[in-house]
């Protein structure tokens, strides 16, 4: 396999999907690798949402030329372009090879799911080749772009056993579909639902003893969804039912929030049971002992921190493996690592995902501060001093922008709003700044060598993928990071000499508390901020007085006079002209198939993978209209985003 740069791209290019705004691949992303001999290094990782401003970026690219232009724009700061790549993988119309996928080695499993597996089991190849691992890729479902059979002819989810580099893969169940259903049903993000489940004390007394196996999306639709049935029962609860059907409404929350929380508690418990079943079957088939085995998790459900900690605490695995980009935002990583594993054959690949900071890099602070948009609002600048920064935390939240951005959906200390965890002021201020519910906690970043002193059964959690319970004598000391049940979603950090660890060290010396508040640097509905101008704009619009940017303390003034509002525009613009739109519609839909029919036909949940029509042929257009309208009238299905 030739040395050089390789690009793994989880994108989608299709003009009709662009025009219809069909969600085919969400959280689109690109990974740039450099191969030298047996060593492979991740050079840069781009999550398209950070550049487009569309949270969870799902918009398809209009054309190959538009996608190429985007890729070249991202590569340009590295003095590279798409023509410098030895190979490109993962996106039809962009890829330059077709031998990178899993359909030969794992023909009965989803390529999407196996790619998730490899993003985790190969994140440290020393463990992959020398240790034993059980891995599970648990998300909502595959995309069907490269592996067109994975939505209709295969199980959605994969697990594996790794014996010193030899992978045995098999179907598993995933609770991710339950959380995906709840997200669409309640129109709330999974993170909000997960937090609400434990926040309210309301509990519904009924239970779901057995859930049909969830190997694919087949039971997602219709009234066989047991949780939709349960919510109908919960929704009928009244105060008079307290003590009989449930324990009463928690007065801190609205009735609706209490009812959602009651259902999500049951979904969380069922999630535990599904994952326990996966683990126990894998351990039984492998003969592995947990204490000698690494647990590897990937897929969007891996963001469910309570489940991760539950499995680690119950089975006492040797260690935990998961990248920070565990959801679909990590698929370029997994697709790339699998491709290297496959194409390098018996050669032992050397790779390590050493940290989370492979995202965008900016070092143009001076230019930004001299810009006419920001210069009038700069009160002063000075070099980073951890003691001064610790004092700033006590005065209110600060903006923290440090080097390359983290990858994945969670702020890990390079694009953050930081605060003082003592008292509730920081939590209240951050929730106000980000327009979040009052009960939403902020996460702590904890010095690694103190995590066991403050948390029950605490251990290293560098990517904020585990929930720990604060010790009884500690919870009252840090109320801003404690959930209402005294748990916290923890990120640990080593004393590595970096600015963030020095700040927390200084805060610990000053207060005796070895942690600080951390929340992602973004407004509600906005992706994490990526550039310095976006960070300055955020601080000025939100009334934040101090921003630390790449080791420089920037004090701001005159916030009330700053004229702009709302999120700062992101650099990637994917709009096409009205003329291009009209020309595309004329060519793609010459027989005027109604828009509603086209949307139904292209929706991955309804017809997309079941029937194929050539819309340029009148006969096919007429057959599509007849078939789609029949299904729209008679088929029981759940439309994405339907109200409950």
The DSSP secondary structure of 241-274, one letter per residue, reads: GBTTTBS---TTS-HHHHHHHHHHHHHHHHHHHH
Long-range contacts of 249-255 (CB under 8 A, 24+ apart): 249/202, 250/200, 250/201, 250/202, 252/200, 252/439, 253/199, 253/200, 253/202, 253/439
29 burial (CB, 10 Å; 0-12 / 13-18 / 19+) is: buried
**For 189-198, how does the pLDDT look when each residue is reduced to its tens digit (9 = 90+)?**
888 999 999 9
Query: 474 in a domain, yes or no?
Result: yes
Query: 303 in a domain, yes or no?
Result: yes
pLDDT at 641 over 60: no
Question: Which CATH number goes with the domain that contains 433?
Answer: 3.90.870.20
Q: Are 586 and 559 in contact (CB under 8 A)?
A: no
Q: What is this structure's pTM? A: 0.95
Using pLDDT thresholds of 50, 70 and 90, give the confidence band for residue 607: confident
Tally of domains within the chain: 4
Report the mean per-residue pLDDT for the chain: 94
Q: Are 185 and 226 in contact (CB under 8 A)?
A: no
**Same domain, residue pair 400 and 529:** yes
Q: Are 330 and 354 in contact (CB under 8 A)?
A: no
Q: Which tokens hold the place of 316? A: 């006492």
Question: Beta strands 515-520 and 546-549: pairing type?
Answer: unpaired
Domain range spanning residue 599? 589-634
**Same domain, residue pair 330 and 472:** no
Q: Which tokens hold the place of 489? A: 């979603």
Query: 564 in a domain, yes or no?
Result: no
Q: What is the pLDDT of residue 441?
A: 80
Query: 539 in a domain, yes or no?
Result: yes
**Same domain, residue pair 513 and 466:** yes
The DSSP H or E segment spanning 171 is strand 166-171
Separation of first and last alpha carbons in the chain: 53
Sign, CA dihedral 502-505-507-510, equals: negative
**Same domain, residue pair 448 and 539:** yes
Cross-strand partners of 47: 29
Q: What is the pLDDT of residue 377?
A: 97
Query: 437 in a domain, yes or no?
Result: yes
Query: 639 in a domain, yes or no?
Result: no
**For 428-481, how does the pLDDT look when each residue is reduced to its tens digit (9 = 90+)?**
999 999 999 888 889 999 999 999 999 999 999 999 999 999 999 999 999 999
Query: 575 in a domain, yes or no?
Result: no
Q: What is the pLDDT of residue 346?
A: 86
Domain C-terminal end among 51, 66, 98: 98
Domain C-terminal end among 329, 352, 375: 352
pLDDT at 83 over 80: yes
**Same domain, residue pair 515 and 532:** yes
Average pLDDT score over residue span 257-280: 97
**For 327-373, how does the pLDDT look when each residue is reduced to its tens digit (9 = 90+)?**
999 999 999 999 999 999 989 999 999 899 999 899 899 999 999 99
pLDDT at 275 over 80: yes
**Same domain, residue pair 459 and 333:** no
**Same domain, residue pair 418 and 325:** no
**Same domain, residue pair 255 and 379:** no
More confident residue, 566 or 156: 156
**For 211-229, how does the pLDDT look when each residue is reduced to its tens digit (9 = 90+)?**
888 999 876 655 568 898 8
**For 304-320, how does the pLDDT look when each residue is reduced to its tens digit (9 = 90+)?**
999 999 999 999 999 99
Chain centroid offset of residue 496 CA: 26
**Same domain, residue pair 347 and 480:** no
In the chain, pLDDT over 90 holds for what percent of residues? 89
**Same domain, residue pair 288 and 151:** yes
**Same domain, residue pair 136 and 196:** yes
**Same domain, residue pair 458 and 517:** yes
**For 18-69, how does the pLDDT look when each residue is reduced to its tens digit (9 = 90+)?**
999 999 999 999 999 999 999 999 999 999 999 999 999 999 999 999 999 9
Domain C-terminal end among 321, 352, 383: 352
Using pLDDT thresholds of 50, 70 and 90, give the confidence band for residue 143: very high
Query: 644 in a domain, yes or no?
Result: no
**For 532-583, how does the pLDDT look when each residue is reduced to its tens digit (9 = 90+)?**
999 999 999 999 999 999 999 999 999 999 998 889 999 999 999 999 999 9
């Amino acid at each position: 396999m030739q040395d050089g740069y390789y690009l793994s791209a989880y994108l989608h290019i299709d003009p009709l999907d662009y025009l219809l705004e069909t969600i085919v691949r969400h959280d689109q992303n690109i990974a740039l690798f450099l191969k030298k001999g047996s060593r492979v290094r991740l050079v840069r990782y781009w999550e398209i949402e950070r550049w487009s401003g569309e949270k969870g970026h799902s918009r398809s690219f209009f054309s190959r030329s538009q996608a190429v232009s985007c890729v070249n724009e991202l590569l340009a700061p590295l003095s590279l372009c798409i023509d410098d790549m030895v190979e490109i993988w993962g996106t039809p119309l962009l890829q330059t090879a077709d031998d990178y996928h899993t359909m030969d080695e794992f023909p009965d499993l989803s390529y999407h799911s196996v790619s998730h597996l490899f993003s985790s089991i190969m994140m440290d190849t020393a463990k992959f080749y020398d240790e034993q691992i059980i891995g599970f890729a648990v998300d909502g479902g595959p995309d069907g772009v490269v592996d067109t059979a994975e939505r209709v002819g295969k199980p959605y989810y994969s697990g594996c056993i790794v014996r010193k580099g030899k992978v045995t893969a098999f179907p598993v169940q995933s609770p991710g579909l339950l959380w995906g259903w709840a997200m669409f049903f309640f129109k709330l993000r999974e993170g909000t639902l997960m937090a609400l489940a434990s926040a309210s004390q309301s509990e519904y007394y009924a239970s779901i003893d057995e859930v049909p196996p969830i190997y694919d999306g087949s039971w997602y639709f219709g009234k066989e969804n047991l949780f939709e049935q349960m919510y109908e029962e919960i929704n009928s609860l009244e105060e008079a039912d307290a003590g009989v059907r449930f324990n009463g409404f928690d007065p801190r929350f609205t009735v609706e929030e209490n009812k959602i929380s009651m259902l999500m508690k049951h979904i969380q418990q069922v999630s535990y049971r599904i994952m326990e079943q996966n683990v126990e079957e894998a351990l039984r088939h492998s003969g592995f002992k947990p204490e000698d085995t690494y647990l590897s998790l990937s897929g969007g459900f891996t963001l469910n921190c309570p489940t991760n900690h539950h499995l680690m605490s119950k089975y006492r695995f040797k260690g935990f493996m998961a990248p920070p980009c565990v959801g679909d935002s990590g698929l370029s990583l997994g697709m790339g690592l699998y491709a290297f594993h496959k194409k390098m054959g018996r050669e032992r690949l050397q790779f390590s995902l050493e940290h989370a900071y492979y995202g965008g890099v900016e070092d143009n602070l001076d230019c930004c501060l001299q810009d006419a948009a920001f210069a009038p609002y700069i009160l002063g600048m000075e070099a980073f001093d951890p003691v001064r920064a610790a004092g700033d935390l006590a005065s209110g939240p600060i903006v923290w922008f440090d080097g390359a951005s983290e990858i994945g959906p969670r702020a890990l200390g390079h694009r953050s709003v930081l605060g003082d965890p003592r008292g509730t002021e920081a939590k209240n201020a951050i929730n106000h700044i980000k327009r979040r519910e009052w009960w939403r906690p902020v996460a702590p970043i904890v010095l690694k060598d103190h995590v066991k002193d403050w948390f029950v059964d605490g251990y290293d959690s560098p990517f904020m993928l585990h929930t720990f319970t604060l010790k009884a004598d500690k919870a009252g000391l840090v109320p801003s990071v404690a959930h209402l049940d005294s748990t916290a979603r923890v990120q640990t950090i080593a004393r590595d000499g970096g600015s963030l660890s020095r700040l927390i060290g200084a805060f610990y010396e000053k207060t005796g508390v070895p942690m600080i508040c951390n929340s992602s640097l973004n407004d509600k509905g906005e992706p994490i901020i990526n550039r310095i101008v976006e960070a300055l704009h955020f601080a000025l619009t939100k009334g934040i007085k101090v921003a630390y940017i790449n080791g420089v303390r920037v004090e701001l003034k005159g916030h009330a006079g700053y004229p702009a509002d709302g999120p700062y525009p992101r650099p990637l613009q994917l709009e096409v002209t009205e003329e291009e739109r009209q020309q595309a519609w004329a060519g793609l839909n010459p027989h005027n198939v109604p828009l509603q029919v086209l949307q139904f036909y292209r929706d991955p949940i309804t017809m997309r993978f079941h029937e194929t029509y050539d819309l340029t042929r009148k006969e096919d257009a007429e057959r599509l209209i007849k078939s789609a309208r029949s299904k729209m009238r008679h088929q029981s299905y759940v439309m994405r985003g339907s109200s409950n």
